[in-house]
Amino acid sequence: MPLKGPQGERDLMLVREIMKPHTFSLRPDNTLREAIEAVRTHGSPVLPVTVGERLTATISLASIRSRAAEVGLAAGSLPVNQALDPDPAFCFVDEDILEAEDDVNRERPVMMVVDRDKRVVGTVATKELCSEIGRLRGPLTGSIGSAYPDVNFDDDPVEYESEESFPASDPPSASSSQ
């Protein structure tokens, strides 16, 4: 379906087109040991934590390791709710990927994909989402000065190989010491 936007007309790409279907969730009362096993089994560094079918948080391998380092050997028996990432990164399954860009947290490797009732329906790798967004936006256009409309960088060119460019960084020449 064509969409008219600032970059002109383009095809609409929904998050559902690049997501992996959801297969597994943890509950807040699962143990960290069960969470680690689920991460290994499902091959995802981030898993959804749900109450009923609704997304309430996520848990990552990093948060499990951090909590285990704090607690020590007994960490495996702790409930998942003691190591949650309470602000899960998510986007909607029926959302255009350019709209989903606002929700991208590049520090998280995976985003949850939810329906409008916040039920987890899949996951999308942040890297893949960003790659598709870049592909749709096309190559960068304009020049370095386009971010600064009142400045014309061509009016004051710098000759990096000239002696006048960086005189303080140049060692004194033999002719200047006489």
Average pLDDT of the segment spanning 11-16: 86
Average pLDDT, the chain: 77
Is the full-model pTM beyond 0.75? no
Q: Do residues 54 and 19 make contact, with C-beta atoms less than 8 angstroms apart?
A: no
State what percent of residues in the chain have pLDDT above 90. 28
pLDDT at 172 over 70: no
Residue 144 resides in a domain: no
Residue 108 resides in a domain: yes
Higher pLDDT, 97 or 142: 97
pLDDT at 1 over 50: no
Taking the C-alpha atoms of residue 18 and residue 174, their distance in angstroms, rounded to an integer, is: 65
Residue 78 resides in a domain: yes
Domain total of the chain: 1
Q: What is the pLDDT of residues 64-119, one digit of tens each?
A: 888 888 877 677 788 998 888 878 889 999 999 888 887 787 677 889 999 999 99
pLDDT at 5 over 60: no
Banded model confidence at residue 136, pLDDT cuts 50, 70, 90: confident
* CATH code, 101: 3.10.580.10
Q: Roughly how many angstroms between the first and final C-alpha of the chain, as a whole number?
A: 76
Taking the C-alpha atoms of residue 17 and residue 114, their distance in angstroms, rounded to an integer, is: 13
Q: Do residues 19 and 114 make contact, with C-beta atoms less than 8 angstroms apart?
A: no
Residue 27 resides in a domain: yes
Q: Do residues 152 and 129 make contact, with C-beta atoms less than 8 angstroms apart?
A: no
Given this model, what pLDDT does residue 77 score? 83
Residue 162 resides in a domain: no
Residue 41 resides in a domain: yes
pLDDT at 42 over 60: yes
Q: Do residues 67 and 82 make contact, with C-beta atoms less than 8 angstroms apart?
A: yes
Taking the C-alpha atoms of residue 38 and residue 28, their distance in angstroms, rounded to an integer, is: 14
Beta strand pairing call for 110-114 and 90-92: parallel
Question: How far does CA 165 lie from the centroid of its chain?
Answer: 40
pLDDT at 125 over 80: yes
Average pLDDT of the segment spanning 33-51: 90
Q: Do residues 51 and 27 make contact, with C-beta atoms less than 8 angstroms apart?
A: yes
Residue 149 resides in a domain: no
Residue 174 resides in a domain: no
Print the domain residue range for 23: 2-137
